[in-house]
Amino acid sequence: MIGDRLKQARQSAGFSLRALAEQTDVSAMAISKYERGEMTPGSDVLLRLSKSLGVRVEYFFRQATVRLEAVEFRNRASLSKADECRILADVQDRLERWQALDEIFPPSEEMCFAIPDQVPKKIRSGDDIEQAAIAVREAWELGHNPIPGLVDTFEEHGIRVIVTPYIGEESFDGLAGRAGDMPVIAVGSHWPGDRQRFTLAHELGHLILHGRLVDGLDEEKACHHFAGAFLAPKDIVIESLGRKRRWIEPRELMLLKQEFGLSMAAWTFRALELGVLDKTTHGKYWGYLRKHGWDKNEPGPRYRSEASHLFEKRVYHALAEDWLGESRAAELLGMPLVELRACRNMECPADAADQ
Ligand SMILES: [Zn+2]
């Protein structure tokens, strides 16, 4: 058991066998034997390994109770095998921590993911996709307004979202999978919020639309459409832009992006999908964006990255009620005990760094 855990922690921290050996002064051969279960490390070695890997010693003895399955990477082409392993190990670790909390707070009925009944059984057209997006918004009681935090919204409706730190050199957009019955979506923490939100909404599209699209509708394109329609529903787009436009000022799109957390690029596609811009004008508009380099780097302030608050809130809730102890709470939050104590005292180093 220690072997698998050690390997997972090593991959998650991004160490090769050799790099970890150098850090800990334990031979690579020995570490490899520990990982394969051919040798058991003593407590002194375990302590050194745990320090270098940034985990508590208890981590090595924790039984994995949840497994990430049916994993699909997005934009897989640019990721190396080693990066994939690191990302998977990190996602797996965070899933296990969530699972530990689920044992304290069992997920309620409404926290189980289900496709709302109002979603059309057969999706035949763009209109059906718009309808599907509205149906999810209604079932989740989101109204028509911008959705402030998508991660917590997904979590509250039974989709586990893992925001994983950027690892490696190449782009990692996200991945989708399952842990038991629960859908899991992971996104990279380094991306601007509008990109993360689009990835999340696109993955929600797969969950909602998969198996419902008639022949001839491409699932990827349909999920892009769904993502836009979910983040900025039809009525709101018309209300914000008007029914028909000859041109749109870039600054309008920038302001809408800040309001809805939907990129300027995605807003132009909403305008096209809903006939606010015709195809020719949309093409010209893209030429104009490209000329300024705005197709790659959108102008204006960066939209804040998504973060999950639910997990942290629950850990403190459990702590307040004495359902778990300080050292367990620190382990779940992935922070040293001193830091947890500082946070309990409202002197969290992370808060100071944000200011
Ligand atoms: Zn997709």
CATH number of the domain within which 56 lies: 1.10.260.40
Straight-line distance from the first to the last Cα atom of the chain, in angstroms, rounded to the nearest whole number: 42
The overall pTM is greater than 0.75? yes
Residue 125 sits in the same domain as residue 223:
yes
Q: Does residue 180 sit within a domain?
A: yes
The domain total for the chain is 2
Same domain, 211 and 147: yes
Residue 345 within any structural domain of the chain: no
Tokens standing for 214?
């008639």
CA torsion sign for 92, 96, 98, 99 is positive
Residues 166 and 240 in one domain: yes
pLDDT at 355 over 70: no
Compute the distance from residue 95 Cα to the ligand 1 centre, in Å: 22
Q: Please indicate, yes or no, whether residues 144 and 286 belong to a single structural domain of this protein.
A: yes
Q: Is residue 178, in this structure, part of any structural domain at all? A: yes
pLDDT band at 353 (very low <50, low <70, confident <90, very high): low
The encoded tokens of residue 348 equal 């969290």
What's the gap in Å between 223 CA and the centre of ligand 1?
6
Residue 42 CA, ligand 1 centroid: distance in Å: 46
Contact indicator for 226, 136 with CB cutoff of 8 Å? no
Give the model confidence (pLDDT) of 47-102 as tens digits.
999 888 877 787 788 777 788 988 888 866 678 888 888 888 889 989 999 988 88
46 CA from centroid of ligand 1 (Å): 41
pLDDT given at position 167: 63
Residue 17 has phi, psi (to 5 degrees) of -55, -45
Distance 177 CA to ligand 1 centre (A): 12
**Is the per-residue pLDDT at 354 higher than 70?**
no
Residues 56 and 185 both lie in one domain: no
CA–centroid distance, residue 202 to ligand 1 (Å): 6
Residues 236, 140 share a domain:
yes
Question: pLDDT tens digit string along 280-291?
Answer: 999 999 999 999
Ligand 1 mean position to 97 CA, how many Å? 27
- Per-residue pLDDT of 135-191, as tens digits, reads 999 999 999 899 999 999 999 999 999 998 866 666 788 899 999 889 999 998 888
Residue 81 in any domain: the answer is: no
Query: To the nearest whole number, what is the mean pLDDT of the chain?
Result: 91
- Asked whether residue 223 carries a pLDDT value surpassing 60, the answer given is yes
In a domain, 114, yes or no: yes
User: Residue 168: its pLDDT value, please?
Assistant: 61
| 206 alpha carbon – ligand 1 mean position (Å) | 7
CB atoms within 10 A of CB 38: 10
Residues 261 and 155 in one domain: yes
Confidence at residue 220, expressed as pLDDT on a 0 to 100 scale: 94
In a shared domain, residues 38 and 147: no
Same domain as 190, residue 51: no
Range of the domain at 238: 109-291
* Greater model confidence, 175 or 225: 225
On whether residue 324 sits in a domain, the answer given is no
3-state SS track over 131-200: HHHHHHHHHCCCCCCCCCCHHHHHHHCCCEEEEECCCCCCCCCEEEEEECCEEEEEEECCCCHHHHHHHH
Measure Cα distances from 264 to 35, 271, 332 in Å: 48, 11, 37
